[in-house]
Amino acid sequence: MFQVREEEILFNEKIAGDIYLMKVSGNYEVKAGQFFMLKAKDRDMTLFRPISIFDCDSYGVSFLYSVRGKGTELFSKMKEADTILLHGPYGNGFPKLEGKTAMVAGGIGMAPLYLTARRNSNSDLYIGIREGLYSEEEINTLENLFEGCNTKFKIGGLVTEIIDFKKYENVFTCGPEVMMQAVAELHPNVYVSLEKHMGCGVGACLSCSCKVSGKMVKVCKDGPVFKGTEVNF
């Protein structure tokens, strides 16, 4: 079984459009690319939602999330000093590898790559954002948030167009599946962070099952990070 904690929200701010940054108290040992299961203390929310670790320090762990449905909408309404339920951290996270790494994000797929890039100074982070989604001011806020991780933003078009993959030994990617599939075809050493619906987050319900290397795996337990060449997209 797992231990659910009730932690205090230190802040929960709108960053751009539907994107929020929330910091929750607690001192956790985490690996970059892992996730927590979060739930608002609201009767209408029964299942916890998986959200990646954006950043972590001795005061707490922060999450960058976009509002998609009911659960994330409830998160967006929470205020400083409210409490939230969580358990984790879970998942394998991104591997520690020798050589230069390109990190490629599509949209909110940027969330798990911030800490991953901060902990790997030999990396460049590329973030693709759909055109027209955010104002210039909001894009500036996102750029400021990612300052210090060698980040380049591509607004509109394909983020892969601005990357010289030959310069890199490894590639990490997170975002829409079509983007990750395209990235996995452009380099032999790609690691993808898969996003599947999750019921439990701890390997008990099978809702996150998918095929990797011809075998059924659980994204919550065996992933979410897998070798791109092994994923059956």
Ligand X SMILES: Cc1cc2nc3c(=O)[nH]c(=O)nc-3n(C[C@H](O)[C@H](O)[C@H](O)COP(=O)(O)OP(=O)(O)OC[C@H]3O[C@@H](n4cnc5c(N)ncnc54)[C@H](O)[C@@H]3O)c2cc1C
Burial pattern 97-116, b for ≥16 Cβ within 10 A else e, equals eeeebbbbbbbbbbbbbbbb
Of the candidates 206, 211, 213, 216, which one interacts with ligand FES according to CB under 6 A? 206
* Total residues found in the chain within this entry: 233
String of DSSP letters for 221-233: HH-SEEEGGGB--
Q: Any contact of residue 194 with ligand FES (CB under 6 A)?
A: no
Site for ligand X in 87-126 (CB under 6 A): 108, 111
Query: Among residues 97 and 205, whose Cβ is nearest to ligand FES?
Result: 205
What's the CA dihedral at 69, 70, 76, 82 to 10 degrees? -150
193: closest CA among 203, 205, 183? 183
Q: Any contact of residue 14 with ligand X (CB under 6 A)?
A: no
Q: What mask, x for binding ligand X by CB under 6 A, covers residues 179 to 208?
A: ----------------xxxx----------
151: its two tokens: 């980040």
Q: Any contact of residue 35 with ligand X (CB under 6 A)?
A: yes
For residue 84, the 8-state DSSP code is E
Q: Any contact of residue 220 with ligand FES (CB under 6 A)?
A: yes
Q: How many CB atoms lie within 10 A of CB 125?
A: 23
Rounded CA separation 153/137 (Å): 14
Query: Among residues 162 and 216, whose Cβ is nearest to ligand FES?
Result: 216
Shortest separation between residue 134's beta carbon and ligand FES, angstroms: 31
Shortest separation between residue 63's beta carbon and ligand X, angstroms: 6
Count residues near ligand FES (CB under 6 A).
Answer: 12
Interface with ligand FES (CB under 6 A): 198-201, 203-208, 218, 220
Interface with ligand X (CB under 6 A): 35, 49-52, 63-66, 68-72, 108, 111, 195-198, 224
